[in-house]
Structure 1
């Protein structure tokens, strides 16, 4: 299914016109949500790591 470059560009422009581009507010909100979730995940794994560290220290008597 080979097409010439002009048809390709026309098809690309047609498809780009169908894309729903997010608003600035949507981008900011989702970016903030990603940073919040990353911070919560990092905190969770930090706490789990500390609990495991304390448990091992208690078992091994270090």
Structure 2
């Protein structure tokens, strides 16, 4: 069984190994996430409109 002091020491050791992104890298990553989310939303909107049009066309025959 590990005592709390050993656990905290191991957590600190592991946390010191973490490499954090720079402010510029974090900003670029955030921007890319927003851009991709917008592009995916537009894509699915267009697919939805196309399928809706096709179903309306089939139902009016």
Structure 1 runs, 4 residues or longer, greater than 4 Å off: none
1:52 Cα offset (Å): 0.4
Unaligned runs of 5+ in 2: none
Partner of residue 53, structure 1 = 52
Task: Provide the aligned C-alpha RMSD in A.
Answer: 1.2
| Number of equivalences | 61
User: What TM-score does the superposition give when structure 1 sets the normalisation length?
Assistant: 0.92
Q: TM-score, normalised by structure 2?
A: 0.93
Aligned to 1:39: 38
Tell me what 1:28 maps to.
27
What is the rounded CA distance, in whole Å, between the counterparts of 1:60 and 1:3 in structure 2?
68
Q: Does 1:6 align with 2:5?
A: yes
